[in-house]
Amino acid sequence: MEKAILLALAASFCTATASVCQRLGAKSSEVTGFDVWLIFRLARRPVWLLGLASMILGFVFQISALRFGPLGPGPAHPRSRTALCFRLHGRHRPAGKGEAA
């Protein structure tokens, strides 16, 4: 369980770092409308690539935290659990009065 908590914290740190780095890398890109070549221009910026690498590393840490932690309520996967709840809620509507569950 301790390993799962440490991995989840590392995943959160990497995800936050990815967000900051990618915003800094894309800050000076002025785009009006749809631009197909934007991703290629961003890929030439080291800070944006650092953000991409940090995002991938955060995903790896998150998967590892899920591997070592319990799948029930716990600190290893709050974002994944919340996203799953929203997806399941959209697919299955609760039964109303007089309806079978």
Is 47 a domain residue? yes
Helices 78-91 and 46-68, packing angle to 10 deg: 80
Mean pLDDT of the 91-97 span = 50
Is 49 a domain residue? yes
pLDDT of residue 97: 55
Is 60 a domain residue? yes
CA-based nearest residue to 23, from 68, 1, 55: 55
Question: Where residue 74 falls among pLDDT bands split at 50, 70, 90?
Answer: low
Question: Whole domain around residue 41: which residue ranges?
Answer: 2-91
Query: How far from chain centre, in Å, is Cα 7?
Result: 14
* Amino acid found at 82: T
The number of distinct structural domains making up the chain is 1
Is 99 a domain residue? no
Is 100 a domain residue? no
pLDDT of residue 72: 57
Q: In 10 A of CB 54, how many CB atoms?
A: 20
pTM, two decimals, is 0.64
Is 33 a domain residue? yes
